[in-house]
Amino acid sequence: MESCNCVDPQWPPEELLMKYQYISDFFIALAYFSIPLELIYFVKKSAVFPYRWVLVQFGAFIVLCGATHLINLWTFTMHSRTVAIVMTVAKVLTAVVSCATALMLVHIIPDLLSVKTRELILKNKAAELDREMGLIRTQEETGRHVRMLTHEIRSTLDRHTILKTTLVELGRTLALEECALWMPTRTGLELQLSYTLRQQNPVGYTVPIHLPVVNKIFSSNRAVKISPNCPLARIRPFAGKYMPGEVVAVRVPLLHLSNFQINDWPELSTKRYALMVLMLPSDSARQWHAYELELVEVVADQVAVALSHAAILEESMRARDLLMEQNVALDLARREAETAIRARNDFLAVMNHEMRTPMHAIIALSSLLQETELAPEQRLMVETILKSSNLLATLINDVLDLSRLEDGSLQLDLGTFNLHSVFWEVLNLIKPIASVKRLAVTLNLAPDLPEYAIGDEKRLMQAILNVVGNAVKFSKEGNISITAFVAKPDSLRDLHFPDFFPVPSDNHFYLRVQVKDEGLGINPQDIPKLFTKFAQSQSLATRNSSGSGLGLAICKRFVNLMEGHIWIESEGLGKGCTAIFVVKLGILERSNESKLPFLPKMPPIHGQTTFAGLKVILMDDNGVSRTITKGLLVHLGCDVTTVSSSDECLRVVSQDHNVVFVDVCMPDGFEVAIRIHEKFTKRHERPLIVALTANTNKVTKENCMRVGMDGVILKPVSVDKMRGVLSDLLEHRVLFEAM
Amino acid sequence: MDVGQMQRTWVEYTKSLFREGFLDAQFTQLQLLQDESNPDFVVEVVSLFFEDSERLLNDLARALDQQIVDFKRVDAHVHQLKGSSSSIGAQRVKNACIAFRNFCEEQNSEACLKCLHQVQQEYYLVKNKLETLIRLEQQIVAAGGSIPIEELSF
């Protein structure tokens, strides 16, 4: 019974109201029934809805409400008791369900609200993450830019390319309008515009370095925003009215090679800086972002490093070029020196032999001549010839000796000798000359001076003789005293030679010899020149004296070789002088003497000693030479076996043989020595090996020593020489004749 | 000629040899080695020297005659000859050998030939002299005298 739309004014008012109620109830019921349907529909549609049970409850509640209203429709008219019961039941149920729902809602609504808050939080978080991602992306891009820039910059070691590339890449990355680099000038007082991006040839703008803005930039290692109006930024001509873009400046440290000390890191405190200025495009609303500033700072640091690498490389290239030049020069010098030395050695080799031979002939023949019958004038002439030639021979020997001393090839012939007798011999030699000049010579040997010593007897005597000879030469009258004693440690510290600290030890002692004369004396100024070669003081008195001026020089060399010192003291002309030298000698210990048990004890005097029973092998491939040497040895009483090859020698040699003489001009001369060493490993079983050679050069001697020879003798050998050699050899087990 | 005269002649002759440089002090050493136990030492050595030198000189002549001269071999021979002559005291031969060796080093075959001739000349000279000397000695010994080596005072 729908309400018809015609208005019936005949209805009683109560019926109208009831009609309206009837209609509303109907619609309510309809709505109440459709709501759950809608709910079910939409819930089914959505996948997420956690409150199904609530929904069911709610649905039930609604449905029952709807049912209540629906049933209400029947209560407008007369209705049966059933309807009333149904209505009551429906109402009761509705009440129950609605209460339950109400109770349920109390639980549910907070949950629902909290869902809302959570949703809000999540939304916030999402927004944050978005922001952060944006940041990371920009950072990563910055990083990429920096890497690319760095790569560009570091791919070259040329300073200009580095700087240009920096500016170009920065300009590109940051889309700059202008980018410029100001470098400090040599004076350090100004900054000069060196490189720009857009302008090709920057005119030499300069800016004083002590501007406050410059100081501000230099004192911070961050990029600093500066005003576009400051002189650093006013690079481009101001064309047109526009808003200049923001400008940023950053310092670029210029590291020097000297900054990198080995032990500490470069200090950036007192360094030079360059300045980089970057300008954003004008008339754009762009501002400097933080990440862009960071990029600029990083780049500035990289540029500094790249520049310093370039600078280091330049330096090292320069140094290398210099070194190469020096090398070439040194090489040349060395070759020249070598040529000179070779030439000198060749000269010496020739002179050695060639000069001595005629000298020997002259001396020999003059002495022969002396023996014959001569008229007095002839005798005088011959004596002069003899004297002069002796002098010449001495001179030649001296010069040759000195050259050898200089090139270091002279070595001392160490041996045991009687120290006392050396001095007595010198005295004997000098006494005749001294007595002619009516000079008295006294010798004073300290009581603690050892009788025997180890050293080079010949050269020590030469030195003493030289010094004493000088004393005699330069004295016209008076007394010459020679004192020799063992130098004590405190007295060894002489004022003249503060660096000379001779330390006596158990094996050595220092011999000090003082020769004092009362002669002409020496000007103290001339004393240093005394030991120079060929220099002679030009005073009148000495002009007549003979001598080449080499004596003291050679003396000094000998003394130095003996690890000593020589000096001369004089109070002045006419006041005499004292020559003092100190040399190091070895102390003879009795236990060091080696005795050969299978030989009869040989007295060390050179008399008619024979070497009876000495078994000797002689190896020489020259028949004549071999026969002669054999004859010599036989004459001295040796038992000689001759061989002419190294194989034969090794077959024959045994422990019983004492000495093997080898002519080292033979091709296998040296080889036989090595093989003998291999055959006899124990020293006391091995025979002594002695080389015979006509060759006087150092190389032969060195070769002999290298293959383990015990001695070298110069041919030709005379009977006396061989005798002396054999006795020396057997006493000392070593003999290296001075060559 | 009596022994004394022969001895004097011998002394003079020997001295002249030294004077003229044919012999040097080494020869004296040889003479000193001659004693009762070894009475013919000098003669033996001298004969050995003659043999050796003649052989070496022949070898040298042959070597230098080749188309391509083996200077090493030549040098080796000259070295031997120098050794022998210096051992015996034949001074001039020795000096000639020294000069010869220098030219060997330079590998100058013409000069070497000239040197060879020089050496040969010196050798024959000294051979002649030594033979005379030995003949004198033999005469003295045959006459019952002894060789007055002591009179060669040096």
Q: Report the SS3 class of residue A194.
A: strand
Please report the beta strands in A615-717, taking only residues with DSSP state E, as ranges in sequence order: 615-619, 639-643, 659-663, 688-693, 711-714
Measure the CA–CA gap between A737 and A217, rounded to whole angstroms.
83
Q: Residue A198 CB: number of other CB atoms within 10 A? A: 15
**Helix residue spans in A549-668 (DSSP H):** 551-561, 623-635, 646-652
CA distance A631 to chain B (A): 7
Model confidence pLDDT, tens digit, residues B23-55: 988 888 888 888 777 788 889 999 999 999 999
Q: Band the pLDDT of A238: cuts 50, 70, 90.
A: low
CB A148, CB A169: distance < 8 Å: yes
Whether pLDDT at A493 is above 70: no
Q: Band the pLDDT of A541: cuts 50, 70, 90.
A: very low
Give the residue from A642, A651, A646, A701 showing the smallest Cα distance to A671: A646
Measure the CA–CA gap between A320 and A326, rounded to whole angstroms.
10
Domain boundaries, chain A: 155-316, 411-494+503-533+548-587, 615-738
Q: Band the pLDDT of A735: cuts 50, 70, 90.
A: low
Domain A615-738 indexed as CATH 3.40.50.970: no
Residues of B in contact with A718 (CB under 8 A): 25-26, 29
Q: Band the pLDDT of A610: cuts 50, 70, 90.
A: low
CB A303, CB A252: distance < 8 Å: yes
Measure the CA–CA gap between A672 and A690, rounded to whole angstroms.
11
Best interface-test mutation with B: which of A369, A628, A721, A723 has the largest number of B CBs within 10 A? A628
**Among 3.50.50.60, 3.30.450.40, 3.40.220.10, 3.40.50.300, what is the CATH number of A155-316?**
3.30.450.40
The residue among A526 and A103 whose pLDDT is bigger is A103
The residue among A546 and A329 whose pLDDT is bigger is A329
pLDDT for A383: 84
pLDDT for A241: 61
Least confident range of A76-90, A472-486, A563-577:
A76-90
- Measured between alpha carbons, how far is residue A385 from residues A359, A495, B140 in Å? 11, 47, 36
Mean pLDDT in chain A?
79
CB pairs under 8 A between A and B: 80
Whether pLDDT at A141 is above 60: yes
**Among 3.40.50.620, 2.60.40.10, 3.30.70.2190, 1.20.120.160, what is the CATH number of B3-151?**
1.20.120.160
Whether pLDDT at A112 is above 60: yes
Whether pLDDT at A567 is above 60: yes
The answer to whether B65 faces chain A, any CB pair under 8 Å, is no
Measure the CA–CA gap between A226 and A223, rounded to whole angstroms.
9
CA distance A629 to chain B (A): 8
The model's pTM? 0.36
Q: What is the mean pLDDT of residues A313-329?
A: 91
Map tokens 């005003």 to a residue.
Answer: A227
CA distance B84 to chain A (A): 5
CB A65, CB A32: distance < 8 Å: yes
Chain A, window 589-628: residues with a beta carbon less than 8 angstroms from a chain B beta carbon: 621-625, 627-628
Q: What is the mean pLDDT of residues B73-84?
A: 90
Give the residue from A213, A195, A215, A217 showing the smallest Cα distance to A204: A195
The proportion of chain A whose per-residue pLDDT surpasses 70, expressed as a percent, equals 83
Residues of B in contact with A362 (CB under 8 A): none
Residues of A in contact with B32 (CB under 8 A): 635, 719
Q: Band the pLDDT of A300: cuts 50, 70, 90.
A: confident
Domain A411-494+503-533+548-587 indexed as CATH 3.50.50.60: no
The answer to whether B10 faces chain A, any CB pair under 8 Å, is no
- Measured between alpha carbons, how far is residue A735 from residues A403, B13, B76 in Å? 23, 39, 29
Q: What is the mean pLDDT of residues A528-535?
A: 68
Contacts of A73 (CB under 8 A, 6+ apart): A22, A25, A26, A29
Model confidence pLDDT, tens digit, residues A347-356: 877 777 777 7
pLDDT for A356: 79
Instruction: Confirm or deny that A250 is annotated as ligand binding.
Output: no
Measure the CA–CA gap between B40 and A361, rounded to whole angstroms.
28
Least confident range of A253-262, A282-291, B22-31:
A253-262
Q: What is the mean pLDDT of residues B111-119?
A: 89
The answer to whether A506 faces chain B, any CB pair under 8 Å, is no
Q: Band the pLDDT of A534: cuts 50, 70, 90.
A: low
pLDDT for A264: 53
pLDDT for B127: 93
Interhelix angle A551-561/A457-473, rounded to 10 degrees, is: 140
CB A676, CB A700: distance < 8 Å: no
Q: What is the mean pLDDT of residues B134-150?
A: 84
Least confident range of A196-210, A287-301, A317-331:
A196-210
Map tokens 């003081």 to a residue.
Answer: A537
Interhelix angle A376-406/A551-561, rounded to 10 degrees, is: 40
Nearest 5°: the CA angle B26, B31, B37 is 135
Tokens of B57: 């000189």
Whether pLDDT at A600 is above 80: no
The answer to whether A363 faces chain B, any CB pair under 8 Å, is no
Instruction: Confirm or deny that A552 is annotated as ligand binding.
Output: yes
The proportion of chain B whose per-residue pLDDT surpasses 90, expressed as a percent, equals 23
The residue among A190 and A79 whose pLDDT is bigger is A190
Model confidence pLDDT, tens digit, residues A7-63: 545 556 678 888 888 888 888 888 888 888 887 787 777 666 666 777 777 788 888
CA distance B8 to chain A (A): 14
pLDDT for A407: 64
Sheet with A224-226, edge to edge strand ranges:
A206-208, A190-196, A178-184, A272-279, A247-254, A224-226
pLDDT for A546: 46
The answer to whether A716 faces chain B, any CB pair under 8 Å, is yes
Model confidence pLDDT, tens digit, residues A361-407: 888 888 888 888 889 888 888 888 888 888 788 777 777 776 666 66
- Measured between alpha carbons, how far is residue B125 from residues A261, A275, A623, B23, B50 in Å? 84, 101, 21, 11, 12
Q: What is the dihedral sign for C-alpha A623, A628, A631, A633? A: negative
Whether pLDDT at A596 is above 60: no
Q: What is the mean pLDDT of residues A233-260?
A: 72
pLDDT for A598: 33
The proportion of chain A whose per-residue pLDDT surpasses 90, expressed as a percent, equals 7
CB contact under 8 A, B86 and A718: no
Model confidence pLDDT, tens digit, residues A353-373: 777 788 888 888 888 888 888
Q: What is the mean pLDDT of residues A66-73?
A: 82
Find the CB nearest A361 among B21, B32, B33: B21
pLDDT for A22: 83
Whether pLDDT at A592 is above 50: no
